[in-house]
Chains A and B, each alone.
Chain A
């Protein structure tokens, strides 16, 4: 089995460099045959694309998509400086 460390590095690079994702802020953890993806994105389609790219970069491993959606809310309170 490939060292989890290198799998994580490869998945992370794929997420950053693949044109479908170009996501730099996704945290990738590999434990045995389990791959965990964490972070935040702004729409569901991007969340799925990240999962697809991660699966391709880690064939045969189980990918857990734990990425959450950031909902862009209306502006809240002001801060007085």
Chain B
């Protein structure tokens, strides 16, 4: 089967001050990768003006681009408008759903969305007590349920989960443990493990580390720009002659 070259990055945090910079770094990406996945925190404040910069920087590439939003992209309550303008620019935006990207006859399935926090098994928040606490935990639970369904429904040769928040602690190493519950949730990993996937891409943890694995054995990669320090990283699925 043909090999898939997956370029991935997150936390590009674009704004007017960085217009044109990121685009320069991804020119020629089609020679290195078949698809680009962008794991949220596309902007700094989630304004429509910043969303337009993101659309300009990521549109018109010769390879398909699939993105999710991050918490920063929600900050100004214009998350839906940002999704719309990215979609108008030809970018596939996943908002708790899946998509199939055909690459040279191979069907690459990508499912996911922003994700959310809550913490990790043994040290996590639970749906108990004040309504605010319950709402926090339920938000993650609902998201995980939608991802599980999206993964199940994907008719693809390979499956990747694309998220902003982390599914595991491994890739948070370097972050203060006190804030782990705000960086991810084990429920995201549980959803992926239940349905199976080849790779789990996330961002958000700027001070974390790149590599980890879910309890079920799915490889996890934190591709936050300050972690990978490159315009993107390329992961090859299937075969060794990338």
Residues of chain A at the chain B interface (Cβ within 8 Å): 19, 22, 24-25, 39-40, 42-43, 45-46, 70-76, 78-81
The docked-state distance in angstroms from the alpha carbon of A43 to that of B44 is 13
Residue contact B236 to A72, C-beta cutoff 8 Å: no
Whole-angstrom distance between the Cβ of A81 and the nearest chain B Cβ: 6
Within 8 Å CB of A80, what residues of B? 235-236, 240, 242
Within 8 Å CB of B233, what residues of A? 75-76, 78-79
Q: How many residues of B contact A (CB 8 A)?
A: 32
Within 8 Å CB of B90, what residues of A? none
Residue contact B75 to A70, C-beta cutoff 8 Å: no
* Interface stretch of the complex, out of B98-106, B117-125, B222-230: B222-230
Q: Which single residue of chain A is at the shortest CB-CB distance from B234? A: A78
The docked-state distance in angstroms from the alpha carbon of A46 to that of B206 is 16
Residue contact A79 to B199, C-beta cutoff 8 Å: no
Residue contact B235 to A70, C-beta cutoff 8 Å: no
Residue contact B231 to A73, C-beta cutoff 8 Å: yes
The docked-state distance in angstroms from the alpha carbon of A81 to that of B158 is 12
Residue contact B237 to A81, C-beta cutoff 8 Å: yes
Known contacts: A22-B44, A78-B242. The answer to whether A72 contacts B237 by CB under 8 A is no
Residue from B72, B225, B232 within 8 A of A42 (CB atoms): B225
The docked-state distance in angstroms from the alpha carbon of A25 to that of B235 is 26
The docked-state distance in angstroms from the alpha carbon of A43 to that of B22 is 12
Within 8 Å CB of A74, what residues of B? 25, 230-231
The docked-state distance in angstroms from the alpha carbon of A7 to that of B21 is 35
Residue contact B229 to A71, C-beta cutoff 8 Å: yes
Residue contact B18 to A22, C-beta cutoff 8 Å: no
Residue from B199, B207, B225 within 8 A of A72 (CB atoms): B225
The docked-state distance in angstroms from the alpha carbon of A71 to that of B25 is 11
Residue contact A72 to B229, C-beta cutoff 8 Å: yes
Residue contact A46 to B22, C-beta cutoff 8 Å: no
